[in-house]
Copies of this chain bind each other. A is one copy, B any other.
Amino acid sequence: MSITIQVNANLFLKDPKSSDIGLKMLKEGIDLINVLGFEAFTFKKLAQNIQSTEATIYRYFENKHSFLLYLINWYWEIIAYRLMLATANIEDPRLKLSNSIRVLTGLPDPAQFGFIAEELSLKQLVIQESGKALHTKSVDLENQDGIYLLYKSIVSTVATYVKQLNPTFPYPEMLISTLMENANQQRFFSVHLPRLTNSNPEKDAVEAFSQLIIQKVLE
């Protein structure tokens, strides 16, 4: 059995997972963005890294911004897949929620079933760069194109468990999106501005914090 994770077709001109050179773009692209930061990352540099040319990359992706959106969406696809696995065949909404919070805010375990090679570097990229993909003037257009459907459906699904547990809680979506976004933010802080957090790379406390919030708020 092999798991193929498909990314929203509005995000590419030609599916990068359909060719060797496309796959290289993804793999090397993630690493290069992680090394250089998205601002200093260029298609020219990526082309050099994969022994190809700018023109070829432009045949796969409309521009640099789409490339970033593609990678972030890929990450969400992985998360959505993990969420599905983590909640399958479970009835108790408390357990469903707690497992979901683990997937959304915990660290991936390379030993777990179906671990995807790019997962760790992709997560790193999301922590560093996802804000730049979102906070642009084009966000409304992209939203119209369905780019954020997956993200919204993840929040909506997990918010359902919150509602089951506590039907009168007034902020279910807000609670989940807060914890999701915060997980990335706190991990950024833990590396660069450690005094803003109580988590650190040696002893990551992000999931524990998130589970505590959930428990206290819904009890």
Contacts and interface: CB of A to CB of B under 8 A. Distances in A.
Given A135-B131, A135-B188, A152 B217 contact: no
Contacts of A193: 139, 143, 148, 151-152
B182 A36 contact: no
Main secondary structure of the interface of A (DSSP, over half): helix
A140 B192 contact: yes
A138 B132 CA distance: 15
Contact of A192 (B39, B139, B185, B209): B139
Given A132-B131, A217-B213, A174 B195 contact: no
Interface string A158-199: 000000000000111111011001100110110011011111
A9 to B, nearest CB: 20
Given A136-B37, A177-B189, A171 B216 contact: no
A136 to B, nearest CB: 6
A137 to B, nearest CB: 4
A209 to B, nearest CB: 5
Choose among A151, A170, A186, A196 the residue with the greatest number of B CB atoms under 10 Å from its CB.
A196
Choose among A185, A188, A216, A217 the residue with the greatest number of B CB atoms under 10 Å from its CB.
A185
Interface of A: 36-37, 39-40, 128-129, 131-132, 134-137, 139-140, 143, 148, 151-152, 155-156, 170-175, 177-178, 181-182, 185-186, 188-189, 192-193, 195-199, 205, 209, 212-213, 216-217, 219
Chain A to chain B: the 8 pairs with minimum beta-carbon distance, closest first: A131-B131, A37-B137, A177-B196, A171-B198, A174-B198, A216-B216, A216-B217, A174-B197
